[in-house]
Amino acid sequence: MQDNEFDFFVIGAGSGGVRAARIAAAHGAKVGIAEGRDLGGTCVNRGCVPKKLMVYAAKFNKEFNDSAGYGWWFFGLRHFNWQTLLRNKDNEIKRLNDIYRTILTDAGVSLFNGYARFIDPHTVEIDGQQVKARKFLIATGGVPKLPDIKGAEHLVTSDDIFHLDKMPGHIVIMGGGYIALEFASIFKGLGSDVTIIHRNTTLLRGFDHDIRKTLEQEMQKKDIRLLLDCAPLHIRKEKGKTLIQTDHGEIIRCDLALAATGRAPNTASLGLDLAGVQPSANGAIPTNRDNQTNIPHIYALGDIANHHNLTPVAIEEGHALVDRLYGNQPDRYISYDNIPTAVFTDPPIGTVGITEDQAKADKIDYILYKTSFRPMKYTLSGRDEKTFMKLIVARDSHKVLGVHMLGEDAPEIIQMAAIAVKMGATKQDFDATIGVHPTAAEEFVTMRTPSQP
């Protein structure tokens, strides 16, 4: 086999692609990978990791304010420096990039720095260099979309947020999904005025309706302005400000406008037609259970397949795929049931299993258990913030079908609750578990009285 010939070649060195490449190499395959941008993909460079660092930064303002109730006093001014946060964030991302490079090279994977484009079903071209492979994996992730409105060129996307020259005094965020709401909480926590414009009447489509309603209430308590059932008509610049005309007849003047209205599969420049791969109308690549495209030796996974757009899912998909291909594990598939997820808003959300609306749609006979309370932490600080918890339980089998939480530490708590749901735990199992006191999490094992749907 020549230097430019591989058993398995991965296009895209994000989380899913890197895992697939290194595990395939560990199984003995000759593996190459191409990446034209930063190693680690969206999650490491423009998504999960820098976002979570900003979430931590934003929480300090809240912690400082709450500490007064516990006897802490601050003399002089507290000052937040945006450039310090960005500089330290960039240093951490650089460290992670280097780790990804080491992971690949130590595994024996050949790294090509550049964008790969198919020129035929078994060949890609990378900056003029042709590379052949028996099998290809496309793992190029997604990219932010701009709304189709006049003046959209004046908007920034989530990719841009992590490199702003300065923090905006007033930011308008278009969208009502997790990206929009997480950035709303981040910038509010850091001291910006925040306005959300969302076309729908509720936030966080697909999440449990009680979680959505409670988050809306908590965001309004923090003076985040919510313009729901509202759409931007056009955008223009004037004297250094961004002006947004809405269909409510209002012109909103702000320092920065962020479009968080969705993402698209990153497949436009791959030369899929020359490989014979047939994408769907929105650019996603349809795949079967084996992650195969319509061309059997070309595979796709992660956000470009557009099934479950979560980093841990892409990682597990990549690992399972190469275990089947090169690890003599033909029955190695992952389960897409009961995938836990989190939204790092303020307060954050953790959820696993079905929502109440899904239970109704599937005609499941269910029992609800719900509770809402002010956490002990805020009894001395006086903060008006509630924690909300909800269990959806099958009436016949008593299995816990859904666990939903909004409140501090919800993402950490839901990870462990997901294990119980995945194992088929019943409400009796929850009830028989001794609570850890005093914690918020103990409420999940002490709810006894059913609630009305």
The CATH number given to whatever domain includes residue 200 is 3.50.50.60
Averaged pLDDT for residues 176-202: 97
Range list of β-strands (E), 36-162: 110-113, 116-120, 123-126, 129-138, 142-144
Inter-CA distances, 117 with 6, 13, 140, 145, 313, Å: 16, 14, 11, 22, 25
Give 296-340 pLDDT, tens digit per residue. 999 999 999 978 899 999 999 999 999 999 999 999 999 999 999
Active site members = 437
* Per-residue pLDDT reduced to its tens digit, 42-77: 999 999 999 999 999 999 999 999 999 999 998 888
Task: Lay out the sheet containing 241-246: strands in order across.
Answer: 232-238, 241-246, 251-254
Residue at 349 is within a domain? yes
Percent of the chain whose pLDDT exceeds 70: 100
Same domain, 317 and 349: no
How many residues make up the chain in this entry?
Answer: 453
Same structural domain for residues 139 and 12? yes
User: Both 303 and 439 in a single domain?
Assistant: no
Does the pLDDT of residue 92 top 90, yes or no? yes
Same domain, 211 and 314: no
**Is residue 364 included in any domain, yes or no?**
yes
CB 372 within 8 A of CB 358: no
Report the pLDDT value the prediction gives residue 3, as an integer from 0 to 100. 81
Cα 175 from Cα 199, distance rounded (Å): 7
Query: Is residue 331 one of the residues assigned to a domain?
Result: no
Closest CA to 427 of 453, 451, 402, 452: 402
Q: Within a 13 Å sphere around the CA of 372, how many CA atoms are in the beta-carbon half? A: 13
Number of domains, the chain: 3
Domain boundary at 298, 326, 354, which? 326
Which residues are within 8 A (CB) of 357 and not within 5 positions of it... i.e. 6 or more apart? 208, 209
Task: State which of 326, 351, 374 marks the end of a domain.
Answer: 326
The mean pLDDT of the chain is 96
User: Is the pLDDT score of 385 beyond 80?
Assistant: yes
- pLDDT at residue 186 greater than cutoff 80: yes
Residue 377 domain boundaries: 341-445
Neighbours of 11 (CB within 10 A): 29
| Model pTM above 0.75 | yes
- The tokens of 275 are what? 């490989």
Q: Which of 210, 244, 261 is the last residue of a domain?
A: 261
- Give the tens place of pLDDT for each residue, 192-240: 999 999 999 999 999 999 999 999 999 999 999 999 999 999 999 999 9
pLDDT in tens, 9-48: 999 999 999 999 999 999 999 999 999 999 999 999 999 9
Inter-residue contact 138 to 300 (CB < 8 Å): yes
Span 99-126, pLDDT tens digits: 999 999 999 999 999 999 999 999 999 9
The answer, yes or no, to whether residue 453 has pLDDT greater than 90, is: no
